[in-house]
Structure formats: C-alpha cells, structure tokens
Amino acid sequence: MPCPIDCSKVRFAVAAVREAAQLVRRVQKEMVGDALAKGDKSPVTVADFAAQALVGKRLEETFPQMGFVGEESSEALRTDEGSETLEQIVRFVRECIPEANADDVCGWIDRGVGEPTDNFWTLDPVDGTKGFLRGDQYAIALAYLRDGVVRVGALGCPELAEGVRPEKGGAGSLLVARRTNGTFVCSLDDEQAEWQKLSVSECDEVAKARLLRSVEKAHTNTGEIGKLAETLGVVADPVPMDSQAKYSVLAAGGGEVNLRLLSPSRPDYREMIWDQAAGSIVVEEAGGRVSDLDGKPLDFSQGRTLAANRGVLATNGRLHEALLAGLKQIGA
C-alpha cells in the first residue's frame, strides 16, 4: 500500500532504502558465512559500497541537482589492492543495474564524498557493522535535509519485526518519517503491506525506563551509562541493540532511552551526520525528543559532523528532562 505520507521525497526514500536493504541482504546471505569464520570483514565492506553506489545512482536519476553526503569513498577501491573488492561490488550492483561497470560504480559512490549543501541527502549504507556480520541488528539509514534541518528520514531494519521486535531472517521493517507528518512502519519485504503509525512509549517513571544499550562496548561509554542508571534508580532491564535500529525500537515504544555518551578514549569525538539524521526524525515524529547531552537540539548545519553537539540523548520525551538532570549529576 502507498505510504500515508505522500510526497516525492518520501516515495524516493522508501524505494531507495527498500532496494538498498534487499541488496545488502543478498551480500550478507552470499558472503558472510565463510568470511566470518575467517575473521574477514569484507562482506560488510562490499555491502557498504554497493548500497551507497545504488543510492547514489538512484539520486542521480531522481534528484540530480541535490547534494549527497555518504559515509564511503571509492579511493581505496581504485587501487590494485582494492580491485578484487571492487569486482565483487560491481557484481552485486549489477543485480539492480545490469549495465553498471567499475567506473560507474565508483562514480556513484563518490557522489557522496562532498560537503553538505542547503539541500541534500545523507546515507549510512550499513549502520551496525558487527550486527551485520553476526546476523543481528543493523540498518540502512537515509535522510533528506534542507537548511540544516532533517525533513525526511527512512530506516531499513532487516532483522526487526514491526519496527520493534528482533526477528532473524524475517520480513524486516521499513520506517519513514516526514517533518510534522508522523512516523510510519511497514514490512521491508512486502511493497503491498499496510503501513502503521508509530508512537513512543508513554512511560513517565524514570525507574522503569528501558535503556537501549549498544552491544558493542566501543560505541559508547558503558560505564557512565551504568552510573547514570544507578543514579536515577533505574530498575528496568536494558535492551541490548546496535545501530540506528535502536531509534526504530524507541519510536515504536520498545524502549524509552537511547544514549550516545562520549567514550573516555575519544572525548572530543563528534557524531557523523549520517549516524543520527534518519533515526532522529523517526523518533521525533513518533512523539519523542532528541538532543545532545546538554539538551541542545542536534545541529545538522555544521558539515559532515555534529560539530556543535556533544553526544546524543533520545527519549520518549516524557523522561528527557530527568535524563538530562541525571547526566548533569554524574558529570557526563
């Protein structure tokens, strides 16, 4: 069924994320098993580049005048060492674009290497590397921004059912949000599936807050998150999950808090815009709130990073001020 939010950018985001997610799934199915046994991360490399090439091509066809900011660059693929990986990427891209060649693919990837403009799209082609390799949670995240504000966001979550429940090998979830128009979810696999509107949890007791915590400890400051939970008297079990799939679960009411605290090893780190753009609007349009650790709105007008923001706090809205107070109390 058509998405209830009817505009050209929403239609594009839905189609592009669905196509890219299905391509990434094929890479995972064909490559991950043997490679993982050898500790080889090449499958996620191939999936990343193939998805960015595909979305870059679709943007070129549909919105050729708009900017594009992606995570990847083809520079390493153009070397002798990268030639074999490039061949694999081209092979997968040809499943969607039969006429694609190596130069085409590199060009489509490199549409995403520039700086943001006043009117652009940003893509994280595979958010959640370890989740992808484990067969757990990962996401394809695409967002449209104008004048430094996220206007449309879409998340493809292949291992989530109804945007909230982990389901390995299931139909997956496709979420889309448009500013002031709400957040909706449907099956990633079925283009005729019915769309459902999402709403965040109504929980207003901080002790019952379910924290969406990264499985990969390197991604945030897990010690400080534990300290925050203790300070606030949180007794609810955390929800372990990687990638922007956490934003989907938060928007669907499956948790109340998602934190990106600064890692002690990288105190000056600033988030990349593609890691937060799509997920942030999905939560906000479902009724939640997203800010940095100081309570400031995320500022997407600073280039490829959120240079004006420290970390990220996303909640169901009702608990946001309590979490900000707790963060201040522990000095995070």
Residues designated as active site: 48, 129
Cα–Cα dist 89/93, whole Å: 6
Furthest CA-CA distance within the chain: 58
CB atoms near residue 250 (< 10 Å): 31
83-93 and 8-37 helices cross at what angle (nearest 10)?
A: 130
